[in-house]
């Protein structure tokens, strides 16, 4: 059960930004560039690069969220390995990375429930923060692309601090900047293991936004409230 907050914290990807749409757009942009450059079928490129990306991201996840490796380096590795598998020349690697980045950036958008939620918070003069894992350059560009740059009182990005969710310390940074006690804040996120577990361990009221009606396993951390849209929270703001 939630109590009305004195501050509200948000995850970014999958909570405010439709990161899946941006990922699909970027992957397709690279596939179309690969078809143009080396003649590989778009579906073939998508199949191979998607499988390779899963392996590369898993291998570098810890380094990526703490800033030890940047997003561009991960993209280069993904497309270099994909070129090797489909028989393409590495001379095309820079253009493929540029195509993916441009298409992914163009494909970014905020979910439609973000604007009314932020308006409700502004009306009540409640301070807000972003707490997100990822590369700072990418996450800040994402905020700009979806029209949310400058809309938050604090933006805490894992790679800028060397701390990643679910560590309670990254939540404490945001709480400190907003000047409230943990129990007085809400944290809203889509990932049970990083967002919800992290917020609960930091003593913050946790809201799980479950846009796609996922079913949690019995041993997963359970939020104080589950919602399917941010606007469900407006009547609870007080």
Report the mean per-residue pLDDT for the chain. Answer: 95
**CA–CA separation, 14 vs 196, rounded Å?**
13
Which pLDDT does position 72 carry in this prediction? 83
Homologous superfamily assigned to 7-18+109-236: HAD superfamily/HAD-like (3.40.50.1000)
At residue 79, the pLDDT reads: 96
Instruction: Give the residue-averaged pLDDT of 116-144.
Output: 95
Where are the domains positioned within the chain?
7-18+109-236, 20-106
Residues 97, 27: contact at Cβ < 8 Å? no
* Structure-block tokens of residue 69: 């490796």
Q: Kindly state the percentage of the chain with pLDDT values over 70.
A: 100
pLDDT digits (tens, 9 = 90+) for 169-209: 999 999 999 999 999 999 999 999 999 999 999 999 999 99
- Please state the pTM of the whole predicted model: 0.91
| Segment 130-149 mean pLDDT | 93
The CA-CA-CA angle for residues 208, 214, 218, to 5°, reads 80
């Amino acid at each position: 059960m939630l109590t009305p907050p004195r501050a509200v914290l948000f995850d970014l990807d999958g909570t405010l930004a439709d990161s899946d749409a941006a990922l699909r757009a970027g992957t397709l942009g690279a596939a179309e560039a690969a078809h143009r450059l080396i003649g590989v079928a778009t579906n073939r490129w998508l199949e191979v690069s998607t499988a390779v990306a899963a392996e590369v991201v898993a291998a570098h996840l810890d380094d990526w969220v703490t800033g030890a490796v940047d997003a561009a380096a991960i993209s280069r590795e993904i497309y270099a390995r994909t070129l090797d598998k489909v028989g393409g020349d590495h001379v095309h690697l820079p253009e493929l990375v540029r195509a993916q980045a441009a298409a992914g950036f163009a494909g970014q958008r905020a979910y439609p429930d973000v604007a009314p939620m932020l308006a409700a918070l502004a009306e009540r003069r409640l301070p807000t923060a972003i707490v997100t894992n990822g590369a700072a350059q990418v996450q800040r560009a994402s905020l700009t692309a979806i029209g949310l740059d400058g809309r938050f009182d604090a933006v805490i990005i894992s790679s800028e601090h060397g701390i990643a969710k679910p560590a309670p310390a990254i939540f404490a940074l945001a709480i400190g900047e907003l000047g409230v006690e943990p129990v007085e804040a809400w944290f809203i996120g889509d990932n049970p293991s990083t967002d919800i577990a992290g917020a609960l361990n930091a003593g913050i009221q946790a809201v799980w936004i479950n846009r796609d009606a996922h079913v949690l396993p019995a041993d997963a951390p359970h939020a104080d409230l589950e919602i399917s849209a941010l606007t469900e929270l407006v009547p609870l703001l007080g």
